[in-house]
Structure 1
Amino acid sequence: MSTSSELIARSNRLGADPRNTNYAGGNTSAKGTATDPVTGADVELLWVKGSGGDLGTLKPSGLAVLRLDRLRSLVDVYPGVDREDEMVAAFDYCLHGRGGAAPSIDTAMHGLVAAPHVDHLHPDAGIALATAADGPELTKECFGDRVLWVPWRRPGFQLGLDIAAVQRANPQAIGVILGGHGITAWGATSEECEANSLAIINTAAAFLAAKGHPEPFGSRLHPALENRRERAAELMPLLRGLASTDRAQVGHFVDDDVVLDFVGSAELLRLAGLGTSCPDHFLRTKVRPMVLQPGGGTEESIREIHAAYRAEYAAYYQRHAVADSPPMRGADPAIVLVPGVGMFSFGADKQTARVAGEFYVNAINVMRGAESVSAYAPIGEAEKFRIEYWALEEAKLQRMPKPKPLATRIALVTGGGSGIGRAIALRLAAEGACVVVADRDATAAATVAAEIGGPDVAVPVTVDVTDAAAVAAALREAVLAFGGVDLVVNNAGLSISKPLLETTEADWDLQHDVMAKGSFLVAREAARVMVAQGLGGDIVYISSKNSVFAGPNNVAYGATKADQAHQVRLLAAELGEYGVRVNGINPDGVVRGSGIFASGWGAQRAAVYGVPEEELGAFYAKRTILKREVLPEHVANAVFVLTAGELSHTTGLHIPVDAGVAAAFLR
């Protein structure tokens, strides 16, 4: 196995276990030789995980490859700790060939430590010792002289020099505890390095378990509410709206035991107020969380606590900002803790929100470990600010790709398991939205959600839109999955084609229950969430050409589509004051890929027009002005146009997607 392949395998193993390191945290490296394609001579290289990425999923493209001789020569030109940020740019001059990924700030650590293999990780057990008030003494007690203490220093070139000096002075050592930060281990072989990393982690965990106090957070003052998920669904839209004061956010909710134990504890306010310590933690969770009253409190109290949080964050920025500090990025919380309920986390997308919550769970574990054997003593506020508003971190943020048009928007599509609904769900997800695929067919909804991606981008919800309780439950699921709802597409439908004298009362009721009543129920529940969020929103009705055109043998279908069309006008007028826009789309002749046509409507309409069912789409196309067949994707395109922001001042509109049917022109 090649050096780089061996490194990838080790990284993936270490990164697969959250006890070893957090998501996207830490880095690994290996040194070896390769042939220089220019000279043909052997050259010493360093393969090291590049900036960003995750150890558990690391691939060769995520490695930076550097000339070791040039990297080590940087010691001779190092201008000192006050200018160490300049060294990151110097790494570019050490790259071998195309170089792979961009080198991270920790590259110096890996290059300067005199060992063929190096791991830098963020295990909870290791950080617990690193953040304990008497961390140096505990490290010696736990490891003797095999693992040494390195005082806190911001990641960078000087930290690499510090670790290298400790290693040289202690040839018996297998690694170090980095004060306030994490661990670094090394070895002569990849296997030895991995074994040393795991030995440090496991030894620290065993030490904490054997020596630690069983109740480091004190007594449980606030037990978990039995209805906490229902309460979370009530709180989330308001919290998401507040967390989006500066920029729109997606939400995530966690109520597992580790969170409930912490948020219900006597020491919650003290420990939460100290904030997190490891740079990876607070870069994603902000300097400290926002803590609500037990159960969440009233809306008024929540708004007051949020206002106080924003004022304190602004003051924190002002206390530490200097002339060249980046602008304040936003004063809203990333983490909200609610005794008895759980933890809400927020981010620019679902993965970011979820990972922020995972990092705070890491921080809880760290606090538990440190408090169990000592006192939790994270790095100081000024140091946190230096990292949060680090010029290098700002540059990384500026390199992020431009968000997609529907980024941060949460969409719910009824009838999303097939046909037009499926096409809409796929298009909205492709444009950056989180999508809730709602359908009465659980298998169909799950299939489409899986087609879109994992639960960070799409979730299925089983719902009968004629059932008010089921609709309310579906909206609660959407809120708990992504934080709220911004974009609802009323697409669920069916059709029965019969002459008036053959149309039964049951036919009429079924058509109206699914489309007229169902659309009303979904719009009503969605509006509750949108009003609570205060972020505006979009409701789109998939109506029909038949809402304005009197086709033969479809009195029940045409009447209920006309009902939907007028709901658009009524709700547009009513919900505008909340920034909610309501628009409609009138498709016609969507045969291919249509769930309605496949379920019998196609055969019925083909019989009405006297054409074979397989030729129905072509028949519809021939009678249009454009002579083009309408597909589900064309309806999805119209939904995107209505909701992507360019038509921000449009509400109450019906857009025909029928290839041109003159009799259905709106007047």
Structure 2
Amino acid sequence: MTTTIAANRLENLWDDARAASMSESEKLLYRSNLLGSDKRVTNYGGGNTSAKVQEVDPLTGAPVEVLWVKGSGGDIGSMKMDGFATLYMDRLRALKGKYRGPAFEDEMVGYLPHCTFGLNPRAASIDTPLHAYVPRRHVDHVHSDAIIAIAASTNSRELTAEIFGDEIGWLPWKKPGYELGLWLEKFATKNPRARGCVLESHGLFTWADDAKDCYLTTLEIINKAAAWLEVKTAGKPAFGGAKRVTLEADQRRAIAARLMPVIRGLISGDRHKVGHFDDQPAVLEFVGSQMLEALAPLGTSCPDHFLRTKIRPLVVDFDPANPDLDATIAGLDKAVADYRADYTAYYERCKHPDSPALRDPNAVVYLVPGVGMITFALDKATARISGEFYVNAINVMRGASAVSTYQGLPEQEAFDIEYWLLEEAKLQRMPRPKSLAGRVALVTGGAGGIGAATAERFLREGACVMLADIDAEALAATVENLSIRYGKDVLRGVPMNVTSEAQVGDAYAAMGVEFGGIDILVSNAGIASSAPVEETSLALWNRNMDILSTGYFLVSREAFRMMRVQGIGGSVVFVASKNGLAASPNASAYCTAKAAEIHLARCLALEGAEAGIRVNVVNPDAVLRGSKIWEGEWLDQRASTYGTDKQGLEEMYRQRSLLKRSVLPEDIAEGVYFFAADLSAKSTGNILNVDAGNVQAFTR
């Protein structure tokens, strides 16, 4: 049952009726999901939980004790049963005989697979010994902001004792691993009344012999720390008070939209990065504070925070009281270069003979006074999550600096975690990136058949996609449909009329702030009209030219501007038409506008080549299914022109083609993908007909 408590306290969400029918391992999953559902308990992917459960040995049929513990790389908030590693406890205890001391700690990970129960393929994490050797059936390890604020204080041992007495112990900093597991075991054995332990600069361990009791203990200890911090910090200005003004929300987004493509270009030399912008109150409080310059260089304390956010953030030189954005942008090149040099020097100071090679030396977190926080990573979800981790770090620094002095991880300890050979092995096991990983695409006409199919093709290959369409209702439905399958991180929608210079500009600003820039433009917005020339009104002629010529010019111009700011090239793909190459009766306005579109692409291919911007054209023909231009009057008109009815029109087009096949939106999407991806890295100024064969449209 849910207990009503103060708004700033964690709630007891345990439902006895729901848990009554669960096995011990199912209760572990239930407890884990409840804890992981609240970022005040632990961040995404952080922490781990375990239970020691009686199972039946599949070979002997005898009862055995099995450790269920979160496997490597999982997230307790979203994991399922297959996210747990399972290991024989008797074998884990036998491992003590193989341990040769701290200098040989990493080799113990290699023994963990020999302890696997039930042929479970889930790899056990480095934290397994920390759970295995605590003499309690249930163990939680979480990274609560309130607890880490205590753990990251210079006098964390004294503060822990002041808050918890002898019910919660304290251990000095130790890199996670086998030795720390033995430390925890020794503490818990010598202090049988203790309910948990604070690990300096790291987090909290709690334990009990019942799943619900363990859950409630974790909540109680976190709430107690939070309440103590509230009392101690009451009336004190956070981070020493404000030093800089905070700009209005629309100003903040506008500034981020300009900064992010510049930063993205500077840091995407080896692999494209995707950005995320965060201007929540906690971030604005920190970036506008008196203590920003003192605390930011200290970096984070918790290893989980550090691995996501790097050694320290880059503070952007920007004065919100006297904003000179052009000067800030002009200084970014040097600021990024200086950060890389500093990071490289850190690597050289701390590396060991067997350390992995230097990794990407660019910052992950960029703090902009008065504006907010920008994070960049190889994909949108990681960029967002990295920002969430740094918000956790901000909360920790706020609490620690209010009650004591905040301390980050010592530089060598931070390096030894970042370049840990076990972490390197985990990175090497990561799957090969998809072909469009890190790429950002804008697709106009995104709610139509071709636009939606193109977006889905890109999403399957790892791209982030901004869909634009004049039909806001259809756009929202398309975004929702694709988000269900590919997640909300990678997809955005923006209502846009391609003939409106202001709306096009606003769409690109949204691209900048949502994803950090653009790599691919698919100009696909379209209409169609059919009328004999003597019945073609000036309004009809202008409407075709506005959308199919001027509209393509406007979205391309903005793409070129942003791509040049980034300086990492790009791909522009026009979805034109067979009619741009081959005339059709009773469609002079449409055919002429499409021909102009194709020639615009040729001109842009000439202009973009020196900047690595490729411009190509895909020419569809007779894509009836899902295409909005074939709705209503246009369909009737074309059927009348060719002397058939609606039902016969698709068959007529199929028979007209050389291959006698229908052309579908997915076929066009495949052609667009070819030009967008590196498959066509040496192609520009080209036309690809996807029309099942139309001799009149042959380009030569």
Same fold (TM over 0.5): yes
Amino acid across the alignment from 1:374: S
1: distance between equivalents of 2:112 and 2:656?
A: 66
1:611-652 residue CA offsets vs partner (Å, 9 max, x unmatched): 121121221111111111111111000011112102111111
**Deviation of residue 171 (structure 1)?**
1.1
Matched, 1:46 2:67: yes
Candidates 234, 242, 256, aligned match of 2:258: 234
Amino acid across the alignment from 2:699: L
Aligned residue for 1:518?
551
SS at match of 2:595: helix
Tell me the C-alpha RMSD between the 2 structures: 1.1
1:354-397 residue CA offsets vs partner (Å, 9 max, x unmatched): 00000000000000010010000122010000000000101111
2: distance between equivalents of 1:513 and 1:498?
A: 18
Matched, 1:273 2:273: no
Candidates 618, 638, 651, aligned match of 2:651: 618
Aligned residue for 1:172?
193
Candidates 584, 593, 600, aligned match of 1:551: 584
Q: Give the 5 Å matches for 1:447-596.
A: 447-453=477-483, 454-596=487-629
Q: How many residues align?
A: 667
2: distance between equivalents of 1:230 and 1:648?
A: 32
**Deviation of residue 450 (structure 1)?**
2.0
Aligned residue for 2:271?
247
1:445-485 residue CA offsets vs partner (Å, 9 max, x unmatched): 22222222232111111111111101111111111111111
SS at match of 2:497: coil
2: distance between equivalents of 1:363 and 1:630?
A: 53
Aligned residue for 2:661?
628
Aligned residue for 1:63?
84
Matched, 1:110 2:134: no
1:198-250 residue CA offsets vs partner (Å, 9 max, x unmatched): 11111111111111262241131111122111111111100111222343210
1: distance between equivalents of 2:142 and 2:51?
A: 15
SS at match of 2:239: coil
Aligned residue for 1:3?
24
**Deviation of residue 100 (structure 1)?**
4.3
Aligned residue for 1:125?
146
Candidates 647, 658, 665, aligned match of 2:680: 647
Asked if the contact 1:243/1:334 (under 8 Å) is kept, the reply is: no
Q: Give the 5 Å matches for 1:330-409.
A: 330-409=360-439
Asked if the contact 2:168/2:198 (under 8 Å) is kept, the reply is: yes
TM-score (norm 1): 0.99
SS at match of 1:489: strand
* 4+ residue segments displaced more than 3 Å: none
**Deviation of residue 598 (structure 1)?**
2.1
2: distance between equivalents of 1:373 and 1:630?
A: 68
2: distance between equivalents of 1:169 and 1:49?
A: 26
Aligned residue for 1:309?
339
SS at match of 2:618: strand
Candidates 204, 210, 219, aligned match of 2:231: 210
SS at match of 1:217: helix
Aligned residue for 2:637?
604
1:581-622 residue CA offsets vs partner (Å, 9 max, x unmatched): 111111111112211112432221111001121121221111
Candidates 309, 317, 327, aligned match of 1:293: 317
**Deviation of residue 515 (structure 1)?**
1.3
TM-score (norm 2): 0.94
1:396-454 residue CA offsets vs partner (Å, 9 max, x unmatched): 11111111111100011000102111111111111111011111112222222222223
Identity %: 50
1:94-130 residue CA offsets vs partner (Å, 9 max, x unmatched): 0001224110010001110000000000111111111
Aligned residue for 1:263?
287
2: distance between equivalents of 1:413 and 1:32?
A: 52
SS at match of 2:415: helix
Matched, 1:658 2:691: yes
1: distance between equivalents of 2:357 and 2:532?
A: 67
2: distance between equivalents of 1:212 and 1:379?
A: 24
The worse-fitting range, judged by mean Cα deviation, of 342-351 and 294-303 is 294-303
Matched, 1:148 2:178: no
SS at match of 2:689: strand
- Which consecutive unaligned segments of at least 5 residues does structure 1 have? none
SS at match of 1:119: strand
Matched, 1:432 2:462: yes
Asked if the contact 1:538/1:581 (under 8 Å) is kept, the reply is: yes
1: distance between equivalents of 2:89 and 2:520?
A: 53
SS at match of 2:240: coil
2: distance between equivalents of 1:612 and 1:541?
A: 30
Amino acid across the alignment from 1:357: G
Asked if the contact 2:238/2:402 (under 8 Å) is kept, the reply is: yes
